[in-house]
Amino acid sequence: VNILIVEDDERVAGALRSALVRHGYGVTLVGDAGGALAGCDEPPALVLLDLGLPDLDGVDLCRRLRKRSDVPIIVVTARGDEGARVTGLRAGADDYVVKPFGIAELLARMEAVLRRTGAVAPTVTADVGDTHVDLARREVTVAGAEVVLTRKEFDVLAALVRRRGDVLTREELVAVVWDTTWIGSSRTLDVHVATLRAKLGRPAVVETVRGVGYRLGDG
């Protein structure tokens, strides 16, 4: 699934690209509207569009892209720029995120938009034993009964589901769920894993890989 990122800030663009690639997406990066209109080799499944671009107003670009195709568009706006957000949605965007945003939030919005528009997200649901995880709806059921998780508990589980089969190091999990490399969060991670296991009543869903981190177990 190819994502077109239109973003002129190289640091933001680079961070976004590595995060999305880590989660199984293909990424094409362009720094201006000209590049976005030139298109990419593989038609994107979704466009992530920064509204503050050097060569053309992002809202105009959104309108032009929308005229050409039904590709889902998520606009990225600066904090407090309510006007741009509303104009972006009027110009045909499917959703928006406000800078600075977390990767977990962005992934959830992307999955929801891809699902709504009928495009394919890499992983939308997963079954582990009798535990069912729906990433787009952010719902978890065990043996058919809904389990209410906190936002961070769900994000930990979602990160493991998206990378099913891989071991995620504690640092990777902290980086994805808390958007920080702050080492103090590592303890917080363990607390969240403990409450997550307790709520699921299926401790084996989150498997400890001693000395490394965690992976999605087999329930």
Residue numbers at the binding site for Ca ion (CB under 5 A): 8, 50, 52
Q: Closest approach of Cβ 177 to Ca ion, in Å?
A: 26
Q: 129 pairs with which residues across the strands?
A: none
Reading the block at residue 57, the tokens are 């107003």
Nearer residue to Ca ion within complex by CB, 50 or 111: 50
Phi, psi at residue 132, to the nearest 5°?
A: -115, 125
Q: Closest approach of Cβ 88 to Ca ion, in Å?
A: 13
CB 197 within 8 A of CB 125: no
Nearer residue to Ca ion within complex by CB, 59 or 175: 59
C-alpha angle with apex 161: 73 to 198, nearest 5 degrees?
A: 125
* Shortest-Cβ-distance residue relative to Ca ion: 52
Instruction: Give CA–CA dist 181/93, Å, rounded.
Output: 32
Q: Closest approach of Cβ 11 to Ca ion, in Å?
A: 11
Q: Closest approach of Cβ 60 to Ca ion, in Å?
A: 14
Reading the block at residue 38, the tokens are 């030139």
